[in-house]
Amino acid sequence: SIPVVNFNYKIEDIKDGRYKVRLDFKQKGESAFLMGVLFTIDFEEGYEYRKIMFGKRNMKFSLIFSNRPVSVSFDKENYILNR
């Protein structure tokens, strides 16, 4: 069966003037699929793509940035959903 992926994020200020983005991915389905996940971090000026390999039911991690992120998009181009 095709997995359902839930994605959440939280942007936090760090005391040293940088920013932490906490990401939480969850796969639902009969088994966990190994897949490359592309997500976009939008900043006040510009954006950045990141790709991770995701093969667990639950995966949490954090990224640190010096520029202030304003949003994070998961699979913005529907790459996973179209394959």
Where residue 74 falls among pLDDT bands split at 50, 70, 90?
A: confident
Structure tokens at 19: 């920013």
Would you say 80 and 35 are in contact if contact means Cβ atoms under 8 Å apart?
A: yes
Q: What is the torsion angle, in degrees rounded to the nearest 10, for the CA atoms of residue 81, residue 51, residue 36 and residue 39?
A: -20
Average pLDDT value for residue range 4-15:
90
pTM of the model: 0.80
